[in-house]
Amino acid sequence: MKVKKLNGSGSWLAHWEKLSGQNAYMCFATGCINTPSVGAQVQKYNPADQKVYVIPLCNDCNKKREQDLDIWDAATLVSANAIETIRTFAVTPRHFAHWASE
């Protein structure tokens, strides 16, 4: 699957693990076997889907800002949208910051 790497990254890795229910054990970029260190923000190359998603990436792959990136076809993409997360997991906005930081 081809995605566009956006500039946002950082503490999104815990967000990805929490929402996906998986452990980030390998960078999602195809051909890369490094351990992920960040949750990177990406967009699909699909005009009908302009949402921002989070995926695990290593530092080297994360440096490819605003570039195309090939990731696993079966990759689990997690929404970076806090409102969507609140609706999906029935978390009240007041508790979202605490919930997301656990």
Domain carrying residue 77:
2-97
| CB-CB neighbours of 85 under 10 Å | 18
pLDDT by residue, tens only, the chain of 102 residues: 999 998 865 678 988 998 888 999 999 999 999 999 999 999 998 889 989 999 999 999 998 877 899 999 999 999 988 656 555 555 555 544 544 555
* Percent helix, strand and coil across the chain, each to the nearest 5: 30, 25, 50
| Domain count along the chain | 1
Query: Is residue 72, in this structure, part of any structural domain at all?
Result: yes
Asked whether residue 75 is domain-assigned, the answer is yes
pTM above 0.95, yes or no: no
Residues 6+ apart with CB under 8 A from 47: none
In a domain, 62, yes or no: yes
3-state secondary structure of 50: coil
The answer to whether residue 27 is domain-embedded is yes
